Structure formats: structure tokens, C-alpha cells
Amino acid sequence: MAYFDDIEVFYDLLVGVFDKLMQDPAIRQKALDSNLLVEFVYRNPEGEYWVDCTGNEEVKVYPGGPPQDMTPDAVMTMELDTAHAFWCGQLNLLGALSSGEIEAEGSMPRLLKMLPVIKPAYAVYTDLLQQKGLEDLIIEEEEED
């Protein structure tokens, strides 16, 4: 059973995550310094989400796709449940890339440099799930016996 039936709910969460992250000047500057345009392609349900760090002053996000034709520096394709696990902080990105759980094209070294910028997003994402009454979707670390 998928975590999301409606991609718009996930888009709304990611818009909130990026809005919150970009309020931190240091995080915003690191994102802009990357000068990356990244396309995330999701399956089950289908969708796409673009993050544009190519501007001078703000990071732009495009849920559902950009308003004009753009060529991404990197494309990451995955099940929406995989993306959700990542944003909950419960997915090892390098492991998912090497196993094929996430398919990647383009400038991966530059994209991987963004991981330290993204780490604060995990708490923001789970906080947003709670605020929106979606706490049952939070994936937590499984305790070992």
C-alpha cells in the first residue's frame, strides 16, 4: 500500500520543506552555490518535482514541472514511497543509488554535495506531516531486539 494516493499532498509537503529551508540564509546560499537544476521523477503515483538553484537570490521549486522547457543537470527517478522514506530520513541515498532503487542521470557528484544542505529537511518534513495531521505516514527507525 502506497503512502500517498494523491501526488498533490506530497507536492504540498515538499513546497513547505523548501520554503522553510530557504529561510536559513546559509542553507539558501549553499543551494544557490550548487547552481543545479534537478528534476525528480516519481512513480506510483506519477509526478515530477523540480528544484532550481540556478538563480542569484532564490531557490525555486516547480511541483508538477517547470513553467517553461528546461534541461536539468540531474534527474532522479524513483517510487514515491522511496522519496517519502528519504524525506523521513530513513533511506540511505548512496545505497538506494547503488541498488537501483533510485535511478540517477546527470551530475551526481554535484548533487551529492547537496546532502549536507538537505539533512535539516528531514525534521522539517516530519514536522509538516504532524502539522497536517499525517503523522501516521511518518517512517521511524525500526528498533532492533
State the pLDDT at residue 91: 93
Q: How confident is residue 114, by pLDDT bands cut at 50, 70 and 90?
A: confident
Superfamily of domain 7-130 in the CATH hierarchy: SCP2 sterol-binding domain (3.30.1050.10)
Give the lowest-confidence range in 37-46, 58-67, 133-142.
133-142
Residue among 65, 66, 115 at smallest CA distance from 86: 115
Q: What is the model's pTM?
A: 0.91
State the pLDDT at residue 143: 44
Q: How confident is residue 115, by pLDDT bands cut at 50, 70 and 90?
A: confident
Does residue 118 have a pLDDT over 70? yes
What average pLDDT does this structure show over 11-22?
A: 96
Q: For 22-60, how does the pLDDT look when each residue is reduced to its tens digit (9 = 90+)?
A: 999 999 999 999 999 999 999 999 999 999 999 989 999
Domain extents in the chain: 7-130
State the pLDDT at residue 136: 95
Say how many CA atoms lie within 13 Å of 62 toward its Cβ: 18
Q: State the sign of the Cα–Cα–Cα–Cα dihedral 43, 9, 128, 15.
A: positive
Does residue 3 have a pLDDT over 80? yes
Angle of helix 121-131 relative to helix 80-87, nearest 10 degrees, comes to: 110
